[in-house]
Structure 1
Amino acid sequence: MQYRKLGKTGESISAIGLGCMGMSFAYGNEQDFNEPESLATLELALDLGINFWDTADMYGKGANEILLSKILATKRDKVFLATKFGFRYRDDNSTYFDGSPAYIKQSVEASLKRLKVDVIDLYYTHRIDENIPVEETVGAMAALVKEGKVRYLGLSEASVESIKRASAVHPIAALQTEYSLFTRDVEDGILATTRELGISLVAYSPLGRGLSTGAINKTGDLSDGDFRKNLPRFQGANFDQNLQMVNALEAFAKEKGIAAAQLSLAWLLAQGEDIVPIPGTKRRKYLQENAGAADVQLSAEDLAAIDHILSKHAIAGLRYTEGGMKLVNR
């Protein structure tokens, strides 16, 4: 595994991280979650040198953090651990965002308890609260650094303005946002801002929520509990159009003798040393494939060929529902 520096911290994190969400949340029902396989996947991640793990308190209502704690109990020193706070559940299971200082204090204690750790390496606000100045949120997060409960701070799905305002309060080590061959809006100002400020960009859903894997050929391939069924990109004519891009990328990857997922991850890595994708998986088989992307070198001609494919096949549909889109880049 290759390693990259996290912002200006001097910390080395694996060039391919591990998004742990799907082990407990969003991509399926309870029967789709296999704890023994997930634990084996986490163990293998360490064997492969993948030390950058990403979770959040909302994934499975804390279940994902508890899952990770079973490995952290004996391997804490081998993991650079990131988690997030802010989403709260109502009684009807709907969510709302709370970036208040009072809730931050409550959230970090709960995460530390579930993870069974003394300190969180990277603590993100999961979104930017439109009702609370970002300075207040980050100020409360900075207090956690002083208290020794958190080492570094991160933002997720923040706008250029929010990134700059947050950075004026406390150094921001990472911005986590969706970035892939299918989602490139960060290239419109946000990436330039993170580079100006020395902030790493942690790319979530770097495989287009599974589109790049070639495993989803129709929405019927997704289980009833899979939230992707509600996303515009996975519906009707949008999905059919997006499959054309997937097929073109798969064909190019085949020419290169690599998996389509590896092509997508290698493309991201080639966009700059400050970018760290965190593909999610709950199975060892796909973890090994993803890790192998760190060894794929794309030439200038390869990157130009990919750009040509992207220019011919526009992605159709928003990346979230209308409600979800209101929470991003703000």
Structure 2
Amino acid sequence: METRILGNDLEVSAVGLGCMGFSHASGAPTEKSVAVKTLREAYEMGYTFFDTAECYTGVNPDGSTSYNEELVGEALRDVRDKVVIATKCGVHHAPDQSLILDSSPATIRASVEGSLKRLGMDAIDLYYQHRIDPKVEPEVVAETMAELIREGKIKHWGISETTEDYLRRAHAVCPVTAVENRYSLMARWHGSLFPVLEELGVGFVAFSPMANGFLSGAYTVDSKFEPGTDYRSKMPQYTPEGFEKSRALMELLGRLAEEKNATPAQVSMAWMLCKKPYIVPIPGSRKIERLRENLGAGEIELSESKIATIDTALDGMELPVFGGSKINK
């Protein structure tokens, strides 16, 4: 499996695995033994970069809590030195699934201890501030992360859903290894950060690289998602209007997939992989066949001219507006 470097020296598989769906936001949590087995199979097939978070939790049928970090930790514990595990702090979900933001130093410190225990690790490879907390200055967050690095609790740190100003201020205090923002053919607004990332030497981890599965082409307007526990039930791309607005894009993806003897999902990620050498998509799936398919995106080559042609076509499309769904990972 091809690898990429985030920041100065964090080597990861070119395609990572977003683990959230095993316990959060994709319907009922996967049964623990099945989740652990699937995560381990992902490693065996070539994934070395796994993304989780303390707030990725769900309720099991017996009423117990499914902690995503525990699943990841159990699956990968005996190959710890061969994988990179990223987790996050600073976000909790209210009962209505709205976000509660808290990046105070005390909360970050309590969170890192909890994550280390759930993961069964001595140090976290990549620790993200999950969302910007308007109550806490970036310099304060960065200094807390610097202290955790000095103490050996974490090895690298990053920011999810950051802005240029926030990134610059935080990076000046403690170098940031990666930002993790939404990015896909349907969500390109964070592309404006690329010149800044190149200037600072920061990697870009793309969450929802297939627009929460939409770009796989596996769903239709009749697809149903569990209300409340599956965030796709409220996402604009999955509405009848969303499917209609996305018709031209899906037709374009279909043509490219046929041309490359690939799948729409693979082409949608190859577009970003071939665009910049520091972009690492982290698609999520609970199905072995999908995990294998997603990994294959790293083998597809798209020329600069082909990428430019795709971008020009996207510029002329009126795609669904994500709005508030930007926050859902």
Query: What is the TM-score with the length of structure 1 in the denominator?
Result: 0.91
Q: 1:282 aligns with which of 279, 282, 286?
A: 286
User: How do residues 86-125 of structure 1 correspond to structure 2 at under 5 angstroms?
Assistant: 86-90=90-94, 94-125=98-129
Give unmatched runs, 5+ long, in structure 1.
none
| 1:234 and 2:244 aligned | no
User: Are the aligned partners of 2:5 and 2:278 in contact in 1 as well (CA < 8 Å)?
Assistant: yes
Q: 1:55 aligns with which of 52, 55, 77?
A: 52
Q: After TM superposition, give the deviation of residue 137 of structure 1 in Å.
A: 1.3
Which 10-residue stretch deviates more, 102-111 or 58-67? 58-67
Structure 2 counterpart of 1:60, which letter? T
Aligned to 2:62: none
Give unmatched runs, 5+ long, in structure 2.
59-65
How many Å separate the matches in 2 of 1:114 and 1:156?
21
Q: 1:74 aligns with which of 73, 78, 96?
A: 78
| 1:187 and 2:186 aligned | no
Q: After TM superposition, give the deviation of residue 221 of structure 1 in Å.
A: 3.1
Aligned to 1:260: 264
How many Å separate the matches in 1 of 2:141 and 2:175?
13
Deviations 1:6-58 (A, max 9, x none): 211x232111111101111101124xx24344323322222222111100000
How many Å separate the matches in 2 of 1:78 and 1:312?
43
Q: 3-state SS of the aligned residue for 1:16?
A: coil
Aligned to 1:35: 32
Aligned to 2:145: 141
How many Å separate the matches in 2 of 1:57 and 1:95?
13
Q: 2:200 aligns with which of 172, 190, 197?
A: 197
Query: Structure 1's 89 and 317: CA in aligned 2 closer, same or farther, altered over 3 A?
Result: closer
Q: After TM superposition, give the deviation of residue 263 of structure 1 in Å.
A: 0.2
Q: After TM superposition, give the deviation of residue 90 of structure 1 in Å.
A: 4.1
Q: After TM superposition, give the deviation of residue 307 of structure 1 in Å.
A: 2.8
Structure 2 counterpart of 1:4, which letter? R
Question: Cα RMSD between the aligned structures?
Answer: 2.0
Aligned to 1:6: 6
| 1:206 and 2:209 aligned | yes
How many Å separate the matches in 2 of 1:239 and 1:308?
21
Which 10-residue stretch deviates more, 123-132 or 71-80? 71-80
Q: 3-state SS of the aligned residue for 2:205?
A: strand
How many Å separate the matches in 1 of 2:249 and 2:96?
38
How many Å separate the matches in 1 of 2:313 and 2:226?
30
Aligned to 2:21: 22
Structure 2 counterpart of 1:210, which letter? G
User: How do residues 140-159 of structure 1 correspond to structure 2 at under 5 angstroms?
Assistant: 140-159=144-163
Deviations 1:50-78 (A, max 9, x none): 11110000001661001112123212112
Query: What is the TM-score with the length of structure 2 in the denominator?
Result: 0.91
| 1:166 and 2:170 aligned | yes
Q: After TM superposition, give the deviation of residue 84 of structure 1 in Å.
A: 0.3
Q: Percent identity?
A: 38
Q: 3-state SS of the aligned residue for 1:176?
A: strand
How many Å separate the matches in 1 of 2:301 and 2:146?
38
Runs (4+) off by over 3 Å: 34-37, 89-95
Q: After TM superposition, give the deviation of residue 295 of structure 1 in Å.
A: 0.9
User: Are the aligned partners of 1:41 and 1:284 in contact in 2 as well (CA < 8 Å)?
Assistant: yes
User: Are the aligned partners of 2:260 and 2:300 in contact in 1 as well (CA < 8 Å)?
Assistant: no
Q: After TM superposition, give the deviation of residue 318 of structure 1 in Å.
A: 1.9
How many Å separate the matches in 1 of 2:313 and 2:209?
17
Structure 1 counterpart of 2:160, which letter? S
Structure 2 counterpart of 1:16, which letter? V
How many Å separate the matches in 2 of 1:69 and 1:232?
33
Q: Between the two structures, name the one with larger relative contact order (CA 8 Å, sep ≥ 6).
A: 1
How many Å separate the matches in 1 of 2:51 and 2:306?
30
How many Å separate the matches in 2 of 1:42 and 1:278?
14
Aligned length: 321
Q: After TM superposition, give the deviation of residue 219 of structure 1 in Å.
A: 5.7
